[in-house]
Structure 1
């Protein structure tokens, strides 16, 4: 099951799905089903171009990212004793300090977590995340090392290095928090709705502290926004992945 879910999610992303439809169209053409072949190829191209188009990508991702606002001033929150940073990706065997080996999403999550903890002197930093491959060092280790490199006191860092997905992270956090303990939850803005739902299912009440917003950026040219691009395609893929995760949670309820 751990292999099937990521595989299914990968196959129904816009680019793999378009490629699959194009291959099927080629096979139908070879067997003389020319009309069906043309339809499949046209659907593949239109779907792929649509997913890579700025207005579509932003339209898909923005509802997820706008669900929760970032925490500008954590000192206005009373009684927060922990900041939880959810796992992501990193390269444990790469060159340079741990802060350079974190993936883009992980680096932004950790930076936000460290910012929040430094503003809350009584709070701990809980860093979470493992890899499905037990031979691969957990990202929680990378988080902890990078946090120390950024000046965090090691005594304030708690490592949760066994959860491999958001659901497991929620229950791992529940095990180390005191009953009713208030905490901030840090993850990418697009992932936050699903993460909050997982934590609520575990009986917790997180305070959302989203980071890594990818929508609403108009710093580039207008032409870039209106032309299909790989950047827009990645936004669509991110949104579709999260919508599928939310749907799976609702069906599992």
Structure 2
């Protein structure tokens, strides 16, 4: 039930839905005062959420600081969370990446640098319907092609969300008692929720944020005046993560 509700919230927690709703509502109102107020609110939200400076500032405030690879200590295993590939896209003889490929790429680099002894990849599928391949197997394919030995890659392929990532990874680790020092690797915007979930199930971890979405602050006039569709998409992702973070807190998952 929670899995289905989380999918519904994913669509409702979107500025595009709010803007469209207010715009349609404004068109339907017969009262001219209400019509103007609602249409103006829709226009204001459109300007706010398409402003790239405001979007970048929100992301800068949310994402944790980066960790330099040279400063990473040796770990028994790095735990890589999925959610970055398309498992229902053909052809299925290759990996189709969305944003966030740095999760596995950074893990591979840390492994090559001798910082990780094993790579644990956690994630089944976020889809309600069955898929041909899990996301964990997709990332495993990338790691294998990069030269990581199969013996050094462990898969957890049952989880459908971050809460289950933590639960099922803990179960996997119970059969690997030699893996004690753990490094959690996921996108920077997702790290707060993920870290909370893993600590909630009793796993002691350090963190390595990846896939940063921010850029250096800009004061260019173009960024201030010209609306950006990309800013609107970034706000949608960030608000979705905020809703997930609060929901997990309320449910006691993190």
TM over 0.5: yes
Provide closer, same or farther for how the CA distance between residues 224 and 188 of structure 1 changes in structure 2, counting only shifts above 3 A.
farther
Provide Cα deviations, 1:62-110, integer angstroms capped at 9, x if missing partner.
1221x24224226x514x11111101132344348635x12221x2211
Counterpart CA distance in 2 for 1:212 and 1:162 is: 24
Q: Any conservation in 2 of the 1:68–1:208 contact (CA below 8 Å)?
A: no
Counterpart CA distance in 2 for 1:126 and 1:47 is: 42
Tell me the TM-score normalized by structure 1.
Answer: 0.87
Counterpart CA distance in 1 for 2:151 and 2:222 is: 46
Runs of 5+ unmatched residues, structure 1 = none
Comparing 2-11 with 110-119, greater Cα deviation is found at 2-11
Q: How far is 1:179 from its partner? A: 8.1
Tell me the TM-score normalized by structure 2.
Answer: 0.87
Provide closer, same or farther for how the CA distance between residues 122 and 143 of structure 1 changes in structure 2, counting only shifts above 3 A.
closer
RMSD: 2.3
Counterpart CA distance in 2 for 1:211 and 1:121 is: 16
1:35-50 equivalences under 5 Å are 35-50=33-48
Partner of 1:102: 97
Counterpart CA distance in 1 for 2:118 and 2:23 is: 51
Provide closer, same or farther for how the CA distance between residues 110 and 229 of structure 1 changes in structure 2, counting only shifts above 3 A.
same
Counterpart CA distance in 2 for 1:37 and 1:3 is: 35
Q: Any conservation in 1 of the 2:183–2:205 contact (CA below 8 Å)?
A: yes
Counterpart CA distance in 2 for 1:38 and 1:4 is: 34
Describe the SS at the equivalent of 1:187: strand
Q: Any conservation in 1 of the 2:78–2:116 contact (CA below 8 Å)?
A: no
Provide closer, same or farther for how the CA distance between residues 172 and 202 of structure 1 changes in structure 2, counting only shifts above 3 A.
same
> In the alignment, which of 80, 88, 91 is matched to residue 83 of structure 2?
88
Does residue 72 (structure 1) correspond to residue 69 (structure 2)? The answer is yes
Partner of 1:202: 201
Counterpart CA distance in 2 for 1:210 and 1:97 is: 29
Describe the SS at the equivalent of 1:22: helix
Comparing 194-203 with 224-233, greater Cα deviation is found at 224-233
1:1-253 equivalences under 5 Å are 1=1, 2-28=3-29, 32-65=30-63, 67-73=64-70, 76-78=72-74, 80-92=75-87, 93-95=89-91, 98-99=94-95, 101-105=96-100, 107-120=101-114, 123-131=117-125, 132-136=127-131, 137-177=133-173, 178=177, 181-217=180-216, 222-226=220-224, 227-253=226-252
